[in-house]
C-alpha cells in the first residue's frame, strides 16, 4: 500500500535497551507495567517490515537487535517462552500464555524470512525450530493462527518437513473448528467473534499457499467474506468491540474497538489480493488502514506522532498510547502486498 512511513518517535519513547514498555499514561511510558513477549514480538515484526522499506534505518536496526535479544532470553529450555518481565528484568511467569508463545513463533518465522541480516535470519530459524515441538500445546485458535503465520513465512525462507508437518497439523485443527461451528449464516471458526479476528483467515490463507492446499485456501476465502460482511459498514471499518464481542445469534459490540483489528484486516486483505487478484481486497485494506486516520464511527483520528490511542470507546478515544496499539498502527502503515 502506498502510505508514507510514520516516525518511530513513540516506539523510541516506549523502548529502552531491554525491550518495549507495555503501557503508557497518555504518551508517557508506564514503567511499572514492564515488558511482555507479546509486544516485543509485535515490535520485532514492525522493525523487520520497516527495514524492508528502508534497509539502513539506524533506529530500526538498533531496536530490532534489542527486541531479538529479548526474544532469545525469553525462550525456555522446552521451546516455549516467558511472557511477562518486570521493569527490573525479572521474569514474572514460569511460562507465557498460549497467545504469547504463538506470537513469538510468528515473529521468529517472519524474521527467518525477512530479517535484513543473515545472522538474524539464522537465529530466528533456530529459535523457531526449537519451538515447533511445543505446538501441540497450543489449543486456542488465535495462538494456533499466530504460530501458523510464523511457520508459513519460514517455509518461504527454507523448505522443512518439520515446519510443514507442524503447519499442516495446526491448519487441520483450525479447519476442524470451522467445520464444527459453521452454519448457513455463520461461516466462522468459533461460536463467538472476539479479538484479532482477521488473523484466523489470514493464517489459513498463508498456510494454504505454503502447503499448496486448496481446501485451506477455500476456507480462508469463505471466512474472510463472512468477516468482511460483518465489519465493513457503508465504506467504514467497524471492528468487533471487546465490550461484549459478537456471539452467534446475538448483537455485536460496536465500541471498545481495538487498533490491532485494523492492522489484522489490512494484512489479510493484502494477502487475499495477492492470492486472488481481486482489487476489492486492496480497497478493503485501504479502508481498514483509514480507521487510524479518522475513517471510523466517530470520525476521530487515532494515530498521532507515530503513536496510536489504545481504543475507540462510545464517548471517544482512550488517550493512552501503549505498545500494542502503537505497534498495530505501525504494522498497518508498513504493510505491503
* Pairing mode, strands 28-29 and 35-36: unpaired
In sequence order, what are the beta bridge partners of 84?
36
Q: Is the pLDDT of residue 309 over 90?
A: yes
Provide the pLDDT for residue 55: 87
Mean pLDDT along residues 3-28: 95
Phi, psi of 215 (to 5 degrees): -65, -45
**DSSP label of 232:** E
Provide the pLDDT for residue 51: 97
Provide the pLDDT for residue 4: 79
Boundaries of every domain in the chain: 9-333
Distance CA 312, CA 314 (A): 7
Distance CA 290, CA 283 (A): 11
Q: Is the pLDDT of residue 1 over 70?
A: no
Query: For domain 9-333, is the CATH number 1.50.10.10?
Result: yes
pLDDT tens track for 254-277: 999 999 999 999 999 999 999 999
Mean pLDDT along residues 72-95: 98
Q: What is the mean pLDDT of the chain?
A: 97
Provide the pLDDT for residue 336: 67
Whole-structure pTM over 0.75, yes or no?
yes
Q: Is the separation of the CB atoms in 105 and 152 below 8 Å?
A: no
pLDDT tens track for 119-141: 999 999 999 999 999 999 999 99
pLDDT tens track for 97-107: 999 999 999 99
CA angle centred on 65, ends 64 and 68, rounded to 5°: 80
pLDDT tens track for 86-122: 999 999 999 999 999 999 999 999 999 999 999 999 9
Buried b / exposed e along 177-191 (16+ C-beta atoms within 10 A): bbeeebeeeebbbbe
Q: Is the pLDDT of residue 2 over 80?
A: no
Mean pLDDT along residues 191-209: 98
The alpha carbon dihedral of 145, 98, 43, 133 has a sign of negative
C-alpha cell recorded at residue 299 = 470520525
pLDDT tens track for 26-67: 999 999 999 999 999 999 999 999 999 998 999 999 999 999
Q: Is the separation of the CB atoms in 146 and 102 below 8 Å?
A: yes
Distance CA 8, CA 24 (A): 16
Amino acid at each position: 500500500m502506498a502510505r508514507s512511513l510514520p516516525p518511530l518517535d513513540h516506539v523510541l519513547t516506549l523502548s529502552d535497551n531491554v525491550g518495549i514498555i507495555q503501557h503508557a499514561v497518555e504518551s508517557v511510558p508506564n514503567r511499572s507495567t514492564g515488558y511482555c513477549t507479546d509486544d516485543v514480538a509485535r515490535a520485532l515484526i514492525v522493525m523487520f517490515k520497516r527495514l524492508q522499506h528502508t534497509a539502513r534505518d539506524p533506529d530500526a536496526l538498533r531496536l530490532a537487535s534489542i527486541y531479538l535479544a529479548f526474544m532469545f532470553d525469553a525462550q525456555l529450555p522446552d521451546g516455549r517462552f516467558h511472557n511477562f518481565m518486570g521493569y527490573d528484568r525479572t521474569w514474572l511467569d514460569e511460562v507465557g500464555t498460549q497467545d504469547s508463545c504463538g506470537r513469538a513463533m510468528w515473529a521468529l518465522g517472519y524474521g527467518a524470512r525477512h530479517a535484513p541480516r543473515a545472522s538474524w535470519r539464522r537465529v530466528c530459524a533456530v529459535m523457531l525450530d526449537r519451538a515447533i515441538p511445543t505446538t501441540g500445546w497450543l489449543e486456542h485458535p488465535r495462538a494456533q493462527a499466530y504460530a501458523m503465520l510464523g511457520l508459513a513465512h519460514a517455509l518461504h525462507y527454507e523448505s522443512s518437513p518439520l515446519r510443514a508437518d507442524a503447519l499442516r497439523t495446526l491448519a487441520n485443527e483450525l479447519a476442524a473448528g470451522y467445520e464444527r461451528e459453521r452454519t448457513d449464516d455463520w461461516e466462522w471458526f468459533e461460536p463467538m467473534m472476539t479479538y484479532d479476528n482477521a488473523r484466523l483467515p489470514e493464517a489459513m490463507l498463508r498456510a494454504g499457499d505454503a502447503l499448496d492446499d486448496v481446501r485451506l485456501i477455500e476456507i480462508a476465502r469463505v471466512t474472510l467474506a463472512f468477516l468482511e460482511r460483518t465489519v465493513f459498514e457503508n465504506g467504514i471499518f467497524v471492528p468487533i468491540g471487546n465490550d461484549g464481542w459478537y456471539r452467534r445469534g446475538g448483537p455485536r459490540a460496536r465500541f471498545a474497538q481495538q487498533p490491532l483489528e485494523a492492522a489484522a484486516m489490512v494484512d489479510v486483505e493484502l494477502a487475499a489480493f495477492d492470492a486472488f487478484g481481486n482489487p476489492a481486497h486492496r480497497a478493503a485494506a485501504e479502508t481498514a488502514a483509514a480507521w487510524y486516520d479518522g475513517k471510523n464511527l466517530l470520525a476521530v483520528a487515532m494515530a498521532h506522532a507515530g503513536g496510536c490511542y489504545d481504543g475507540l470507546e462510545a464517548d471517544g478515544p482512550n488517550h493512552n498510547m501503549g505498545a500494542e496499539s502503537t505497534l498495530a498502527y505501525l504494522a498497518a502503515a508498513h504493510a505491503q502486498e
